[in-house]
Amino acid sequence: MVAKGQGPIAAQELSKIFRGPTIAAGGFEPDTAEVTVAKGDASLIAFGRHFIANPDQPKRIEFGLPLNQYDRSTFYAFEARGYTDYPTYEAHEADQASVD
């Protein structure tokens, strides 16, 4: 398991011995993903947990919007909760505006 905030150790080590394209995953935030690709430690970055919690993740990354926090306790629970109930950024903001 990748510890929260841990750097892309596997990608860094693999890039020293393998020169082909690689996809790194595990523990990346948008900013660390960009740095890893820019340094050449990986060709692409895959997001799992963050993508589950952010159905509009590419848009959030593109526009620098905050990410929803994921709830690990719902992973692999065989229920829709945690897979289908995370809001898009617009829906979250609309909900917040109606509370204010």
| Model confidence pLDDT, tens digit, residues 48-85 | 999 999 999 999 999 999 999 999 998 888 888 888 88
For the CA atoms of 1, 40, 18, 57, what is the dihedral angle to 10 degrees?
40
Task: Report the pLDDT value the prediction gives residue 68, as an integer from 0 to 100.
Answer: 93
Task: Report the pLDDT value the prediction gives residue 81, as an integer from 0 to 100.
Answer: 87
Question: Taking 60 as the threshold, does the pLDDT of residue 3 lie above it?
Answer: no
Question: Taking 80 as the threshold, does the pLDDT of residue 100 lie above it?
Answer: no
Question: Taking 80 as the threshold, does the pLDDT of residue 96 lie above it?
Answer: no
Query: What are φ and ψ of residue 54, in 5° steps?
Result: -135, 85
Contacts 24+ apart (CB under 8 A), 63-66: 65/89
Identify which of 69, 68, 72, 64 has the alpha carbon closest to the alpha carbon of residue 31.
Answer: 64
Task: Report the pLDDT value the prediction gives residue 47, as an integer from 0 to 100.
Answer: 92
| Model confidence pLDDT, tens digit, residues 8-48 | 677 788 888 888 999 998 888 899 999 999 998 899 999 99
CB-CB contact of 2 with 27 (8 Å)? yes
